[in-house]
Amino acid sequence: MLNLVPKVGADLSLFKINVSGQRVKLREINEQHCNPGFQHIWQCVDVSDYEGKGEDEPLPDVFNNLGEAEYIVSVFQYMIILGYKPQHISIITPFNGQKHLIVDIMRKRCMDIGLPMPGQILTFDAAQGMQNE
């Protein structure tokens, strides 16, 4: 499953939903805030089974998905090649096990060849209320 939000352009705005369920405009986002090298502003990624495995639970309540972790590390490397600053890249995942797997793969695929690590690798819970470019 891949959920994509099409690039809206210069009149894109950030909204929040208030207690009454109404959209409240927070601020305008101009074209320079769109992500070069990507067709859409943001992506949610769900990778099919990788090497015959999908989501795994190696220990009780520890969830990870090797295919998704490998994919997101490749996306990070692509962003570095495009010129994104690593400190402006955040990787957010729902599970601690997945976060640790991504860090392990980052060390192997990036740090071992001299590429930097992203600014943040967090779980959804840890990322609440934070911002990054």
Residue 97's CB is within 10 A of a number of other CB atoms, namely: 21
For the segment 15-30, the average pLDDT, to the nearest whole number, is 57
- The predicted structure's pLDDT at residue 77: 93
- pLDDT over 70 percentage in the chain: 66
For the segment 49-54, the average pLDDT, to the nearest whole number, is 78
Q: Which residue has the higher pLDDT, 116 or 129?
A: 116
Q: Which residue has the higher pLDDT, 119 or 59?
A: 119
Band of residue 58 on the pLDDT scale cut at 50, 70, 90:
confident
For the segment 121-130, the average pLDDT, to the nearest whole number, is 76
- The predicted structure's pLDDT at residue 13: 45
The CA angle 39-106-3, to the nearest 5 degrees, is 30
pTM over 0.75: no
For the segment 38-49, the average pLDDT, to the nearest whole number, is 73
| Alpha helices in 51-95, H assignment, sequence order | 66-82
Q: Where are the beta strands (DSSP E) in 1-133?
A: 2-6, 12-17, 23-29, 40-45, 56-59, 62-64, 90-93, 120-123
- Report strand pairing: 62-64 vs 90-93: unpaired
